[in-house]
Amino acid sequence: MSEQQPGGGQDRAADRSAPDPGGEDAQQEPGSAPAKTRWAARGGRVARGALVGLVAGGAGLAVGELVAVATGEASAPVAAAGTWAISITPTWLEQFAIRNFGSNDKTVLLTGVYVTVAVGAAVVGVLARRRLNTASILAAVFGVVGAIAAVTRPAAHTSWLLPSLIAGLAAALVLRWLTILSRKEAEPSAEPSARRRFVLGTLGTAAGALVAGYGGNAWIKKRYNVSDARAKVVLPTPAKVLPEPPASVHPGVRGLGPFFTPTSQFYRVDTALTVPRVDPRDWKLKIHGMVDRPFEITFDELLSYRFEEHDLTLTCVSNPVGGPYVGNARWLGTPLAPLLRRAGVRRGADMILSKSVDGMTIGSPVEAVLDGRQAMLAVAMNGEALPEKHGFPCRMLIPGLYGYVSATKWLTDLNLTTFASSDAYWTPRGYSPQAPVKTASRIDVPKTGATVPAGTVVLAGTAWATHRGLAAVEVQIDNGDWREATLASSDTPDTWRQWSYEWANAPKGSHKVRVRATDGTGAVQTSVVQDVVPNGATGYHTITVTVS
Ligand SMILES: Nc1nc2c(c(=O)[nH]1)N[C@H]1C(S)=C(S)[C@@H](COP(=O)(O)O)O[C@H]1N2
Ligand SMILES: [Mo]
């Protein structure tokens, strides 16, 4: 072993002194060939070490996945590490991810976790060639780190320690075993059987890890699957059935999305790396805190309440000007105000700190729930039980407030408290504790950068000032006068209004088109450009179109 230390430098020098490694010159240099052989051997050892590390790491993750069949999907090592990473992601990076990866942000994060684990495993594997005990301890430490990440998640059980701890131990054991096989195989006097043992051991473990990993994951998906339970939910008949909105809520412009966002296209924003799977039979909602009569209800009890349909546009504080994080749906829910009254909210309680099964907390003003607006606990959207991604079996909705202060998915707990004494998840991360939806408008047709034929150019889009209602939309072409667009019919003040504008005799060339809205109170949308942090972006959506 020790001879490698000084030899290493020589190897490199010899390598550099051979300007044309593939050419005849190499032969002419005395001593060069043995040096190169040594160099190659060393490269081979490093590669084998890295391979052993990767296989050991993979085996560890696979074992972790199997243990997580018992302890739950979110406790598996990669899920736990990823969820922990989300929780410590600084706001600027979260914004960067939302802006650049959109709803792929979770895939990007998982890829990042896998790459980190792979690099760490490879380095530990190389280290193991010389320092097997240190490397084994490091592998186990990886497991301890994962276990700490898991058990510190807000919704964690103590059992969440297990998958990563056992994964770390498994990785350490596999690392020892394969490293010893690999060392034996590398001895000058090694028999062919030594090589066979190493190759078979490595390949066999890798194959086993793949099977166990994918199998374990599939088993988890099956065991915690709630799609059957979801299919069995009998939606309550609404006491207040809404008629379909008139066709005139939608200007028939090609390329403009429908008035109701199809559920499959409804934006999704949350911190849940693994979608919480909540069986309605296990679901409970607890209402407590500053109330006279705390109580708990089951899903069946909830369904026995009075349900109403309500059309509501939901939007995210992280939606940039002109962005896609907004959707409109018909929701079925039970009004939240009677539940609060039943609990008897104590004087001074001004915040509902709601919590989801994965520990997310959202703070909403009590006043917004009690002032007569259609705040509700929803169980269905667009005529179907809530999809798992959108909060099955129950989520909160409060018209007029951004999702992060109102729209708790996988809801399980309502704690009456005060803004002065409690912080919701996003508050220490730089977002305002309270955040009404700002007036916003968007040009959807044509797409920015598009080329359109000269003549009459049809512009269309949507605009919202949730709960205040929307009164007007205007467009501006190349810094000209603001011209009034045609508003489609209004459904409720809580829904967006689509709009269109016929731009007659559009002259050839490149043009800038802007849009702004006026809300139901008569306030014109502000032109001041502001970023999404701390309480929603402002400014006018502007596109460029080429008329040809
Ligand atoms: N449990 C939970 N609920 C949540 C969130 C979350 O991260 N976890 N995100 C909120 C945010 S920021 C928004 S904008 C809406 C988005 O709801 P959607 O994904 O159904 O469109 O959900 C809200 N409810
Ligand atoms: Mo959001």
Please tell me the distance from the alpha carbon of residue 359 to that of residue 409, in angstroms, as a whole number.
Answer: 11
Tell me if 299 sits within 8 A of 387, measured CB to CB: no
Q: Extract the tokens encoding 255.
A: 């390329």
The pLDDT value recorded for residue 485 is: 98
Triad 301, 306, 308: Cα angle to 5°: 125
Most distant pair of Cα atoms in the chain: their distance: 94
Please tell me the distance from the alpha carbon of residue 289 to that of residue 351, in angstroms, as a whole number.
Answer: 10
Distance (angstroms) between ligand 2 centre and the Cα of 101 equals: 15
Please tell me the distance from the alpha carbon of residue 361 to that of residue 416, in angstroms, as a whole number.
Answer: 12
**Which residue, among 115, 388, 419, 412, has the nearest Cα to 270 in the 3D structure?**
388
What residues are paired with 284 via a beta bridge? 298
Tell me if 444 sits within 8 A of 542, measured CB to CB: no
Distance (angstroms) between ligand 2 centre and the Cα of 518 equals: 23
Tell me if 48 sits within 8 A of 128, measured CB to CB: no
Q: Do domains 247-429 and 440-547 have the same CATH topology?
A: no
Please tell me the distance from the alpha carbon of residue 384 to that of residue 411, in angstroms, as a whole number.
Answer: 18
Q: For 201-243, what is the HEC assignment?
A: HHHHHHHHHHHHHHHHHHHHHHHCCCHHHHHHCCCCCCCECCC
Tell me if 60 sits within 8 A of 143, measured CB to CB: yes
Asked whether 401 lines ligand 1 (CB < 6 A), one says: no
Q: Extract the tokens encoding 387.
A: 């999809």
For helices 32-71 and 161-186, what crossing angle results, to 10°? Answer: 150
Distance (angstroms) between ligand 2 centre and the Cα of 479 equals: 32
What residues are paired with 354 via a beta bridge? 362, 414
Distance (angstroms) between ligand 2 centre and the Cα of 51 equals: 42
Asked whether 424 lines ligand 1 (CB < 6 A), one says: no
Query: Is 3.30.1360.30 the CATH number for 247-429?
Result: no
The pLDDT value recorded for residue 39 is: 78
Q: Indicate the top mutation candidate among 109, 261, 269, 328 to test ligand 1's pocket, ranked by most ligand atoms within 8 A of CB.
A: 269
Please tell me the distance from the alpha carbon of residue 439 to that of residue 187, in angstroms, as a whole number.
Answer: 73
What is the DSSP-derived secondary structure letter of residue 63?
H
Q: Quick one: which atom of ligand 1 is closest to the CA of 358?
A: 1
Asked whether 336 lines ligand 1 (CB < 6 A), one says: no
Q: For 37-56, what is the HEC assignment?
A: HHHHHHHHHHHHHHHHHHHH
Asked whether 270 lines ligand 1 (CB < 6 A), one says: yes
Transcribe 359-407 into DSSP letters: --EEEEEHHHHHSSS--EEEEEETTEEPPGGGTTT-EEE-TTB-GGGT-
Neighbours of 107 (CB within 10 A): 10
The pLDDT value recorded for residue 250 is: 98
Distance (angstroms) between ligand 1 centre and the Cα of 38 equals: 58
Strands 411-417 and 284-289: parallel
Asked whether 408 lines ligand 1 (CB < 6 A), one says: yes
Transcribe 239-281 into DSSP letters: SBPPPPPPGGGS---TTPPPSSPPGGGS----S-SS-----TT
Ligand nearest to the CA of 536: 2
Please tell me the distance from the alpha carbon of residue 201 to that of residue 180, in angstroms, as a whole number.
Answer: 11
Q: Extract the tokens encoding 217.
A: 């994951």
Distance (angstroms) between ligand 1 centre and the Cα of 257 equals: 22
Query: What averages of pLDDT result for each successive group of 10 residues across the chain (548 residues)?
Result: 35 36 39 70 90 98 98 96 94 87 87 96 97 98 97 96 98 98 92 94 98 97 97 95 95 97 96 96 98 98 97 97 97 98 98 97 98 98 98 98 98 98 97 98 98 97 98 97 98 98 97 98 98 97 98
Q: How many residues does the chain have?
A: 548
Asked whether 397 lines ligand 1 (CB < 6 A), one says: no
Question: Which residues have CB less than 5 Å away from ligand 2 (the ion)?
Answer: 269, 316-317, 403-404
Q: Extract the tokens encoding 261.
A: 């966002």
What is the DSSP-derived secondary structure letter of residue 160?
G
Please tell me the distance from the alpha carbon of residue 78 to that of residue 103, in angstroms, as a whole number.
Answer: 19
Sketch the domain layout of the chain as residue ranges. 13-223, 247-429, 440-547
The pLDDT value recorded for residue 1 is: 34
Three-class secondary structure of residue 144 per DSSP: helix
Instruction: Determine phi and psi for 62, rounding to 5 degrees.
Output: -65, -45
In the block, tokens 């994964």 appear at 167
Please tell me the distance from the alpha carbon of residue 207 to that of residue 209, in angstroms, as a whole number.
Answer: 5
440-547 folds as Immunoglobulin-like (2.60.40)
- Cα dihedral sign for 336, 342, 343, 346? positive
Please tell me the distance from the alpha carbon of residue 425 to that of residue 94, in angstroms, as a whole number.
Answer: 14
Three-class secondary structure of residue 487 per DSSP: strand
Please tell me the distance from the alpha carbon of residue 400 to that of residue 39, in angstroms, as a whole number.
Answer: 68
The pLDDT value recorded for residue 32 is: 56
Tell me if 323 sits within 8 A of 305, measured CB to CB: no
